């Protein structure tokens, strides 16, 4: 046997100590993440709201005094009072729409007209589609009984999504309250963020990284998500007051279109046309049409005011973040996803463009 030197033994012992410490730290991190994971979305949304609303708190410091806790509490209370009425109306509208659809199906008041003869002549899908459509128009209960498992699965999924919408609104209120607590300690929180970024990226880059993350969060939260949310409330309130069927679901569609950077007129114009076709031209319908049409275009006024203050984030990044967040975390992910993905995008490109300045430009040698 080859005798091992004392230096090799010391190196082996040191390496073993490092591996044991790293394993213990990894176990601790996994346990902390498992404990924190149920509150992840809530805390993320609270942090986003706190960062977004903190400049408003700074502006109100002069007129309302210098106590951050009192100003933060006032902001949260006013926001809850303003938001509770439209959120309650939209939630009630969604519940009424689902209940009405269920009652129509149960009472047999839902009738499907028979297909036209030309449907059967469509290539590939014409004959099966015509047969399915004809059976639905003549024997809807029998067709429903035939596809009970599939209908049950779709219904449970739809009810789960609607329940997620309700929980999302409730989570939003709780997140707003927690954001008020964060804002009450805004100065210390800002220092902590800079210290963490400095510890991770170094003293030269830490403050810039913290500033970049803050600017990106405010830009996306105000310029994309905030505008879409304001537009949803304005349009949805008009739908609810007019008594449009499915007003809550239509308002959610406006929210999704706003985050996807698509015009809300894709929903408002058909609704206006249906209202005129069913109720005719009257003072109420004309006022409704003008209000909803203007509310659907309010993003054109708000975008130059809010989005122009932000940083450059491509719209595909926002769209992927919105859709991915909605798939993974339901309605609350629709707000969190674009912000988190935009921050990751900006940090990635900051890292790509952050090349060492003292690296000599030496041509490659063969």
Domain ranges of the chain: 40-353
- The CA distance from 258 to 267, in Å, is 11
pTM of the model: 0.67
Residue 31 confidence (pLDDT):
92
Closest CA to 189 of 105, 305, 68, 293: 68
Closest CA to 229 of 46, 59, 76, 82: 82
Residue 27 confidence (pLDDT):
94
CA dist 163 → 153, 158, 170 (Å): 15, 9, 11
**Burial degree of 324 (CB within 10 A; 0-12, 13-18, 19+):** middle
CA 76 to chain centre: 20
Closest CA to 254 of 191, 188, 334: 334
Q: What band does 366 get if pLDDT is binned at 50, 70 and 90?
A: very low
Residue 69 confidence (pLDDT):
81
Long-range contacts of 312-320 (CB under 8 A, 24+ apart): 313/216, 313/219, 313/220, 313/342, 313/345, 313/346, 314/345, 315/261, 317/341, 317/342, 317/345, 318/220, 318/224, 318/259, 318/261, 318/342, 319/259, 319/260, 319/261
Across 7-21, 23-37, 85-99, the highest mean pLDDT is recorded for 23-37
> Which two three-digit tokens encode residue 34?
């498992």
pLDDT of 312 over the 70 cut: no
Residue 339 confidence (pLDDT):
85
Residue 1 confidence (pLDDT):
46
Q: What band does 25 get if pLDDT is binned at 50, 70 and 90?
A: very high
Contacts of 313 (CB under 8 A, 6+ apart): 216, 219, 220, 342, 345, 346
Residue 249 · residue 97 · CB < 8 Å? yes
Host H or E run for residue 271: helix 265-279
Residue 314 · residue 326 · CB < 8 Å? no
Give phi and psi for 3, each to the nearest 5: -65, 140
Contacts of 232 (CB under 8 A, 6+ apart): 251, 252, 254, 255, 258
Sign of CA dihedral 323, 325, 327, 333: negative
Chain segment 184-209, per-residue pLDDT in tens: 888 888 888 888 888 888 887 888 88
């Amino acid at each position: 046997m080859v005798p091992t030197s004392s230096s090799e033994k010391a190196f082996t012992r040191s390496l073993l100590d490092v591996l044991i410490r790293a394993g213990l730290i990894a176990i601790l991190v996994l346990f902390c993440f498992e404990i924190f994971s149920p509150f992840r979305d809530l805390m993320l949304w609270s942090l986003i709201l706190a960062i977004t609303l903190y400049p408003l708190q700074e502006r109100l410091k002069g007129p309302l005094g210098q106590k951050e806790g009192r100003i933060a509490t006032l902001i949260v209370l006013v926001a809850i009072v303003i938001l509770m009425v439209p959120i309650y109306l939209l939630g009630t509208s969604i519940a009424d729409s689902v209940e009405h659809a269920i009652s129509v199906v149960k009472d047999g008041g839902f009738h499907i007209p028979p297909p036209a003869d030309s449907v059967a002549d469509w290539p590939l899908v014409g004959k099966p589609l015509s047969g399915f459509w004809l059976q639905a128009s003549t024997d809807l209960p029998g067709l429903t009984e035939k596809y009970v498992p599939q209908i049950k699965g779709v219904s449970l999924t739809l009810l789960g999504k609607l329940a997620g919408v309700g929980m999302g609104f409730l989570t939003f209120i709780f997140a707003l309250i927690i954001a008020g607590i964060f804002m009450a300690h805004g100065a210390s929180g800002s220092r902590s963020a800079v210290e963490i970024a400095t510890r991770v990226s170094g003293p030269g880059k830490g403050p810039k990284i913290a500033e970049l993350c803050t600017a990106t969060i405010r830009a996306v939260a105000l310029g994309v998500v905030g505008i879409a949310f304001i537009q949803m409330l304005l349009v949805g309130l008009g739908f609810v007051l007019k008594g449009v069927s499915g007003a809550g679901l239509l308002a959610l569609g406006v929210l999704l279109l706003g985050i996807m950077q698509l015009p809300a007129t894709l929903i408002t114009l058909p609704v206006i046309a249906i209202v005129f076709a069913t109720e005719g031209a009257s003072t109420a319908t004309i006022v409704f049409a003008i209000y909803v049409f203007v509310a659907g275009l309010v993003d054109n006024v708000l975008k130059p005011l809010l989005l122009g203050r932000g940083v450059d984030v491509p719209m595909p990044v926002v769209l992927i973040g919105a859709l991915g967040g909605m798939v993974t975390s339901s309605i609350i992910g629709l707000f969190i996803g674009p912000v988190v993905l935009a921050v990751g995008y900006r940090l990635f490109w900051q890292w790509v463009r952050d090349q060492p300045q003292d690296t000599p430009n030496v041509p490659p040698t063969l």
